[in-house]
Structures are given as C-alpha cells and as structure tokens.
Amino acid sequence: MEIKSSGLSLWSDKVPRKPKRPCSHPGCPELVDGRFCKKHEKEYNRNYEKYKRDPKTHKRYGKTWRIIRKRYVAEHPLCEMCLKENRMTKVEEVHHILPLSRGGTNNEDNLMSLCKSCHSKIHAKSGDRFGG
C-alpha cells in the first residue's frame, strides 16, 4: 500500500521496523512484531479489560468513542508524531492529549493519531499504561 502526502511516499506495509521475535505468551513459538501474537494479544487485552481496567475508564470507551475514533482516523490516517519527523506511518491508535480521567474530552483538539510505537513513548514518559 503506497501512502502519499506532501510528495513523499512510503511502502509502510513492506518495510519491517525491527526483526520479529517470539510471542511473549509462555510456550508460543509465533514470531511477531509486537509483544504478543494476535491470539494472545486479544487474550491479554481481554484480561486487562476484565480484571485491571477501572470500570469508570471502561465506560468512557464505549460505542460513542468508537464512532469518534473511526471518524478521526479517517481524517488523520497517519501518525502525527512520525509526520513531524518526516516519516509516514499508518495510524494505529488515537491518543487523548489530556486524558479523560484528568478532565480531557473527545473533541478533535484533544486527540492525536499515533502509531503504537509513538503512543507507547508518550505513555512511558508519563508513567501510565493507557492514560486512564
């Protein structure tokens, strides 16, 4: 898939970011780009949602959020942080600049389209998993 913007192009689906490594789930030999294979990532996220995520936070990310996120991704299909560094990476996640838990909103001026890597960097700096 070729992505064009401002005269630049990138074959993002064909250029690996780093070598694949085994899935982090014990005993799974699947080679992956991230932490888990698709099967175990779903399991990990389901357990996180069920046992670790605050019920108030869970309530904030319902049907309305999915509609807002889908519209935002359609309007901002590339990672905004990567674009600042002249890299073109498909959006994977939508970030709340000011987290909902701290009074942020779902307004466009409080959202950023990001790749997983950039989203993780933001939360690593702030010391939280998903911004709560």
Beta-carbon neighbour count of residue 17 at 10 Å?
11
- What is the per-residue pLDDT across 33-52, written as a single tens digit (0 to 9) for each? 888 888 888 887 766 655 55
Give the residue extent of every domain in the chain: 61-126
Q: What is the pLDDT of residues 53-93, one digit of tens each?
A: 556 655 677 788 889 999 999 999 999 999 999 999 999 99
Write out the two tokens for 55: 């019920």
Closest residue by Cα to residue 32 from 128, 129, 116, 119: 116
Pairwise CA distance, residues 32 & 40, whole Å: 11
The two tokens of residue 44 are: 């990990």
